[in-house]
Amino acid sequence: MKKYSINIKRAILFFVLALSASCSDNFLDRPSEDGFDSSNFYSSDEQVVRSTSALYGKIWAPFFTKCFYALSEVTSGNLYAGDDGTELIQFHASSESPLLLNPWGTCFGVVAQSNNLINSLRGSVGPNVSPAVVENTIAEAHFMRAIAYFYLVRIWGEVPIIENGLDYVTNPNINTNRVEDVYTLIERDFQYAADHLQTKVRGGNYTQNIRVSSGSAKAFLAKVYLYRKDYAKARALAEEVINSGEFKLLNNYGDLFRIKNNNNEESIFSWQWIVDGGYQDANFSNVQFGPDVLNEVSYGATYIPSKDIISAFEAGDKRKREIIMTDGDFYPELTHDGGVGFTCSAANGFLDATGALVKKYVVGKVSAETGAQDTWGGTSSCNYIMRYSDLLLIHAEAIMAGNAETTDAAALLSFNKVRLRAGLPAKTKITHEDMMKERRIELAFEGEYWYDLGRLPASEAISIMSKQDRSAYSTTPAYYTPTAADLIYPKPSNDVNKNPKLNEPAVPYVFK
């Protein structure tokens, strides 16, 4: 795995944490065009708005490109990744794993850039800048910091809370903070964003849907409350967003993953990618999931569906062909070496070890619809961090309130909206197992399943994963049983060596 040097824009925070993490060499050499620098003086609304642009995509690239699917989908049992994924498939990820460096560095880089905006923007604008624009931008920064910490706490548990890197310049070795305190920060940040971000209704002009809104923040806050088992608050916020009419389900599940539908009405928050020739500026999912005949490079299908998820679909589920390609599936929209219209065929060598390929986020070779691709096969396809269907399932689960089942009409309405789009019959009762299965299928390969497993009682998560056949290149099933400790990843050794307090007991955080 390629090593990454430190982004100069993030250096102060990485010094604070004694980190040695991650950005591409080209990102280091080229200053971020959209990043905030506290020495700047913003003279226009446009300049202020642009200050958060990198937080929508570029800054997340080292995490997304190298590790996003590995940590969430391979470890959870949804994907297989060949030899490179053995440590995750067998629950052997160690503090030395390069897979852990980029997410850690990326998330704290987002925290650093967000903190700069939160703490300095008001004092760095000229008289012609609208106060409303400043407040909305600061709210965006709170939203992005919450997203970063939401990943940090779910991946590593206890982590340092940094609200202002300058507070620790003279004492960079700091303790981690308790999980409950990290969640308090996340809740406070999403609440600030919900209170100060603009409101909107997502429409057909998709470019206007890119930036997050008050509804986006409320949707994520509902999700956080679900994680914290505060079901009443999760339900109330989910219902508020649902009743607002800001978001809606697309009619066709497969349309969600076509480039022409980037930032559609179902997108609550998506990472944005562009094809501009820069390494990691674009989305590499077309290469990571699709075979080489469907991309502009000479390799493909780094990740393939696991046997376990292939067998998890109900008969008649229309989502299956949009999530997984199997022998004989035909896709008229996919452009490949031989033209337009791709048939997944074992006879033609288009299937891998488990007899299937990932379809989700696979857009095919360059065409009028997909647009250009970069040298590495990257496309401009956005990737969802949260969709409206997720919120509908959150709403239904919040109404269940930790019970084994429910027949509540409101829960059934939200739950069945997701199922009916998939062509499945509506349920008259939802069980806990129904909910977990529906979330797994609906959000497959979108980086959710590992975190859903992580919020279950450890014994239940262990039972689920220990029953998964994690073999791929063998007809002999392979089963591995994680321990409770395996549900949280170890902190990167490079950073622990420089800041040993990262492995000391967490301390309470004192909020101002």
Q: What is the pLDDT of residues 55-82, one digit of tens each?
A: 999 999 999 997 999 999 999 999 999 7
Residue where a domain terminates, one of 324, 347, 380: 380
pLDDT, position 380 = 95
Question: In a 3-state reduction of DSSP, which class is residue 140?
Answer: helix
Q: How many domains does the chain have?
A: 3
The verdict on 291 and 440 lying in the same domain is no
pLDDT digits (tens, 9 = 90+) for 88-132: 999 999 999 989 999 999 999 999 999 999 999 999 999 999 999
- pLDDT at position 171 over 60: yes
pLDDT, position 34 = 46
* CA atoms of 422 and 425, how far apart (whole Å): 9
Length of the chain: 512
- pLDDT at position 28 over 70: no
The verdict on 124 and 173 lying in the same domain is yes
pLDDT, position 36 = 46
- pLDDT at position 199 over 90: yes
The pLDDT-based confidence of 220 (bands split at 50, 70, 90) is very high
* 303 phi-psi bin (left φ>0, alpha ψ -120 to 50, beta other): beta
Question: In a 3-state reduction of DSSP, which class is residue 460?
Answer: helix
Question: What is the per-residue DSSP string for 381-419?
Answer: --EEEEEHHHHHHHHHHHHHTT-SEE--HHHHHHHHHHH
20 φ/ψ angles, rounded to the nearest 5 degrees: -130, 45
- Residue 173 falls inside a structural domain: yes
The verdict on 337 and 423 lying in the same domain is no
- Tokens matching residue 20: 């040695």
The pLDDT-based confidence of 14 (bands split at 50, 70, 90) is very low
pLDDT digits (tens, 9 = 90+) for 330-352: 999 999 988 899 999 887 777 77
Q: Which domain holds residue 60?
A: 8-197+487-503
- pLDDT at position 406 over 60: yes
The verdict on 323 and 465 lying in the same domain is no
Whether 229 contacts 180, CB under 8 Å: no
pLDDT, position 187 = 98
The verdict on 467 and 493 lying in the same domain is no
Beta strand extents in 249-329 (DSSP E only): 267-271, 304-305, 324-326
- pLDDT at position 20 over 50: no
Question: In a 3-state reduction of DSSP, which class is residue 454?
Answer: helix
Helix H or strand E segment including 498: helix 493-498
- Residue 208 falls inside a structural domain: no
* CA atoms of 235 and 405, how far apart (whole Å): 16
pLDDT, position 117 = 97
Most confident of 27-31, 32-36, 146-150, 376-380: 146-150
CATH of the domain at 41: 1.25.40.390
Whether 424 contacts 441, CB under 8 Å: no
pLDDT, position 494 = 92
400 φ/ψ angles, rounded to the nearest 5 degrees: -60, -35
The pLDDT-based confidence of 353 (bands split at 50, 70, 90) is confident
* Cα end-to-end span (Å), the chain: 41
The verdict on 79 and 14 lying in the same domain is yes
- pLDDT at position 399 over 50: yes
Whether 17 contacts 499, CB under 8 Å: yes
- Residue 219 falls inside a structural domain: no
451 φ/ψ angles, rounded to the nearest 5 degrees: -75, -35
- Residue 239 falls inside a structural domain: no
Residue where a domain terminates, one of 356, 380, 404: 380
* CA atoms of 98 and 349, how far apart (whole Å): 32
- Residue 246 falls inside a structural domain: no
The pLDDT-based confidence of 496 (bands split at 50, 70, 90) is very high
The verdict on 431 and 367 lying in the same domain is no
Tokens 């824009």 correspond to 9
The verdict on 369 and 419 lying in the same domain is no
- Tokens matching residue 9: 């824009």
Mean pLDDT across the chain: 90
Lowest mean per-residue pLDDT among 4-13, 231-240, 326-335, 412-421: 4-13
Whether 446 contacts 425, CB under 8 Å: no
Q: Please report, for the chain, how many H helices and E strands are present, in that order.
A: 19, 10
- pLDDT at position 9 over 90: no
| Among the listed residues 320, 57, 336, the one whose alpha carbon sits nearest the alpha carbon of residue 210 | 57
- pLDDT at position 412 over 50: yes
pLDDT, position 82 = 78
Q: How many CB atoms lie within 10 A of CB 153?
A: 24
- pLDDT at position 39 over 90: no
pLDDT digits (tens, 9 = 90+) for 282-331: 999 999 999 999 999 988 999 999 999 999 999 999 999 999 999 999 99
Residue where a domain terminates, one of 380, 413, 443: 380
| Among the listed residues 143, 24, 97, 111, the one whose alpha carbon sits nearest the alpha carbon of residue 494 | 97
* CA atoms of 489 and 341, how far apart (whole Å): 42
- Residue 134 falls inside a structural domain: yes
Query: For residue 178, what are the contacts with CB-CB under 8 A and spacing of at least 6?
Result: 158, 506, 507, 508, 509
The verdict on 356 and 437 lying in the same domain is no
- Residue range 178-202: mean pLDDT, rounded: 97
- pLDDT at position 432 over 80: yes
Q: What is the pTM of this model?
A: 0.92
The verdict on 301 and 376 lying in the same domain is yes
- Tokens matching residue 274: 């562009």
- Residue 120 falls inside a structural domain: yes
Tokens 């890119």 correspond to 210
pLDDT, position 381 = 96
Three-state secondary structure readout of 277-299: CCCCCCECHHHHHCCHHHCCCCC
90 φ/ψ angles, rounded to the nearest 5 degrees: -100, 10
- Residue 139 falls inside a structural domain: yes
The verdict on 294 and 190 lying in the same domain is no
The verdict on 109 and 149 lying in the same domain is yes
pLDDT, position 358 = 96
Whether 295 contacts 377, CB under 8 Å: yes
